[in-house]
């Protein structure tokens, strides 16, 4: 046992506030009615805060390669296409607080799978985790 390195509690302590905030946001988001203004605020606030933090960070320089350029082009195209679809579908809805079957957004398509509270909570955790993963790279 003396040869095994001791685990430091420091890295875990750094993540605890972030995990608590994520769990509170996920619980709050799961408790809101889908497509309500409170749910919208719980989506917009973390996106704005994390986006500002990500834009202020100084990323390290990555060597530009052909593979990187292709990857950026593919992912940028997919992101732009998905964003255009979301904005178009959301803008075409007759009532922004109710889902539209004629112009479904991604949220509308996922809503039947996320009807129960535990699944909604898990969905919020996945969304927050994926967002954090994207901006922390």
pTM, two decimals, is: 0.64
CA–CA dist 44, 80 (Å, integer): 18
Please provide the average confidence, as pLDDT, over all residues in the chain. 82
Pick 97 or 23 by higher pLDDT: 23
What integer pLDDT is reported at residue 17 of this predicted model? 82
What integer pLDDT is reported at residue 6 of this predicted model? 52
- Band (pLDDT 50/70/90 cuts) for residue 79 is very high
pLDDT of residue 100 exceeding 90, the answer is: no
Each residue's pLDDT tens digit, 48-62? 888 888 788 777 788
What integer pLDDT is reported at residue 7 of this predicted model? 53
């Amino acid at each position: 046992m003396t040869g095994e390195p001791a685990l430091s509690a420091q890295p875990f302590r750094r993540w605890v506030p972030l995990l608590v905030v994520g769990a509170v946001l996920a619980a709050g988001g799961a408790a809101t009615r889908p497509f309500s203004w409170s749910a919208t605020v719980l989506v917009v606030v973390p996106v704005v805060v994390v986006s500002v933090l990500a834009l202020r960070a100084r990323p390290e320089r990555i060597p530009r390669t052909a593979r990187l350029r292709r990857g950026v082009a593919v992912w940028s195209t997919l992101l732009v296409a998905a964003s255009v679809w979301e904005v178009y579908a959301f803008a075409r809805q007759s009532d922004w607080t109710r889902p539209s079957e004629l112009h479904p957004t991604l949220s509308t398509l996922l809503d039947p799978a996320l009807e129960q509270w535990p699944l909604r909570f898990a969905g919020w955790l996945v969304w927050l985790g994926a967002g954090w993963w994207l901006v922390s790279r």
